[in-house]
Homo-oligomer: A and B are copies of this chain.
Amino acid sequence: MLFTGTHIHKLDRKGRVSVPKRFRAALEMEEFAGIYLYQSHKECALEGCSHSHMERIAASLDELDMFSDEADDLADTILGSSHMLPYDGEGRIILPAELIEFARIEDQVAFVGRGRTFRLWNPDIFKPLQEASRTRTLNRGATLKLKPMNELPKGARPGTPNEEDAS
């Protein structure tokens, strides 16, 4: 259930692109056989996630005051602009023209894992950004505090079942 690594695939003449096998494997327990994509707020990229992650977003928005301006804006920019894209028999999706244009994608697509979610880029745009981000991280001497094992969700630990309610 983790998206990792960068996978570059071809966008064919019909606007189709194969979802990396690794990503599909991470999604195989999902009730919907496909992915969700929406335009990133800050990057020239597309945000990708699973159906259950989208349910999580919807449920979280539900909790904000139903009529708050902030919830409204988020609903429009995430839920309203997201595309539900089913696989074909070969595990490909059709990239909508609107999203191709937004991310300035040409003939190749980079799938970049980000843990629970992932991003789609034009590889030529992503590569220099990745370099920059790498040097920033080095210069800053950034370290990541890891959560202790026993605070992780059960499914994320080896030897534990995936269900919280398993008896």
A5-32 Cβ-contact flags toward B at 8 Å (1 or 0) = 1100000000000000010000101110
Known: A61-B115, A114-B80, A130-B76. A56 touches B149 (CB 8 A): yes
Residue pair B134, A77 in contact (C-beta under 8 Å) = yes
Residues of B within 8 A of A67 (CB): 42
**Copies of the polypeptide in the assembly:** 2
Q: Residue A115 contacts which of B30, B75, B146, B162 (CB distance < 8 angstroms)?
A: B75
A43-89 residues with Cβ-Cβ distance < 8 A to B are 50-52, 54-63, 67, 70, 72-84
A74 neighbours in B (Cβ, 8 Å)? 137, 142, 144
Q: Complex formed: what's the CA distance from A73 to B149 in Å?
A: 23
